[in-house]
Amino acid sequence: MSYARQVDREFVARLERFPLVRLRIRYEDIEPMRRRRMQHLLDAAAALVRAPWRGIRPAARACYSRAEFEDLLREHLRLYAAEVHALGGSVRPALLVAPVRERLRALMESRADSLARDVAALLYAAAMR
């Protein structure tokens, strides 16, 4: 069993204390997104570790332009939002989360843009000085 599935099972076991809420995780919907997100993060981490400089700032600057790093982070955050959205569809009864499910995804995606921009600005700021 994968580590992610073990974490999911432990979470579902804790939810069983709430009699009106059930979580049936549809792995066929979630695992492709989860794999894509994790591979995306693993590829970025591998690139940063291979960089000949120590520290996140020099490594990021060696591997990515500011725009590339911002795009990389934005894509990771959007993949995470898609995964959270898919997980929200696993809640039963679905009516409990239906009103907020779409709003949450839209909020996460809009925040992905500003968060990626802010993090890239902080990471690359010292290079501008």
DSSP structure string for 79-123 = HHHHHHHHHHTTEESGGGTHHHHHHHHHHHHHHHHHHHHHHHHHH
Amino acid at 23: L
Radius of gyration for the chain, computed over Cα atoms and rounded to the nearest angstrom: 18
What is the model's pTM? 0.73
Q: Are strands 91-92 and 22-23 parallel, antiparallel or unpaired?
A: antiparallel
How many other C-beta atoms lie within 10 A of the C-beta of residue 2? 11
* CA atoms of 34 and 40, how far apart (whole Å): 10
Residue 95 in tokens: 């009516």
- Please report which confidence band the pLDDT of residue 21 belongs to, taking 50, 70 and 90 as the band edges: low
Q: Which segment, 19-23, 31-35, 86-90, is predicted with the most confidence on average? A: 31-35
